[in-house]
Chain A
Amino acid sequence: QQQVKQSPQSLIVQKGGISIINCAYENTAFDYFPWYQQFPGKGPALLIAIRPDVSEKKEGRFTISFNKSAKQFSLHIMDSQPGDSATYFCAASAQGGSEKLVFGKGMKLTVNP
């Protein structure tokens, strides 16, 4: 049973375009939703994270939108650049739970020049 479902599995966008990655979750106890970025041959690195008490968080070109009632959250990459080409993972965890992050299956983003 996959606790965090991520879509699409892959995405190709042109430079300057908007990349959107969606995630859905089932466990209402989740209260921390990070996005990790992974380049080939490297481990994932934290990109941006949100708590459910806000509906949106923006850091530079990256924005998380959170819909608590729908149990969904998404990552928007504005003005996508070739350097953004990577695999993106959404994740979730619950405070006071088992303390481990549950990850989605990842989405491979390719930004063409």
Chain B
Amino acid sequence: GAGVSQSPSNKVTEKGKDVELRCDPISGHTALYWYRQSLGQGLEFLIYFQGNSAPDKSGLPSDRFSAERTGGSVSTLTIQRTQQEDSAVYLCASSSTGQSNEKLFFGSGTQLSVL
């Protein structure tokens, strides 16, 4: 595809419900990142996938958050039992090989609102 695609673009859910956010990275990119953008808090790293390696989950804020990447391409971020503090924009990014000095290509994000 032309760029990183995320869906849905907006998600409104009730507290306690589970949500799934999807990311389609640029074709051929082996590295995939999830970040969370909260108002005034910048971009908070959540999880990083690189090829077939075990993901770096060090940024996940709680065990309610999980992510998977199937077939080295599409990724899904799942938030269980959502809380109001989970409201934020969830951004996905991909890069060609995952080297630290590589350009990240971001999607437009999913705006999550937990009522």
Contact = CB atoms under 8 A, between A and B. Distances in A.
A46 B103 contact: yes
A37 to B, nearest CB: 11
Contacts of A6: 42
A44 B103 CA distance: 11
A97 B58 CA distance: 13
B91 interface: yes
A101 B104 contact: yes
Interface in B23-49: 31, 33, 35, 40-45, 48
15 contacts: A32-B100, A32-B101, A36-B104, A43-B108, A43-B109, A45-B106, A89-B43, A98-B48, A98-B56, A99-B99, A99-B100, A104-B42, A105-B41, A106-B42, A106-B43
Interface residues of B, number: 27
A42 B101 contact: no
Interface of A: 6, 9, 31-32, 34, 36, 41-46, 49, 51, 89, 91, 93-106
Given A51-B101, A106-B42, A41 B108 contact: yes
Main secondary structure of the interface of A (DSSP, over half): loop
A42 B89 CA distance: 10
A43 B42 contact: no
Interface string B93-115: 10000111101101111000000
A53 to B, nearest CB: 12
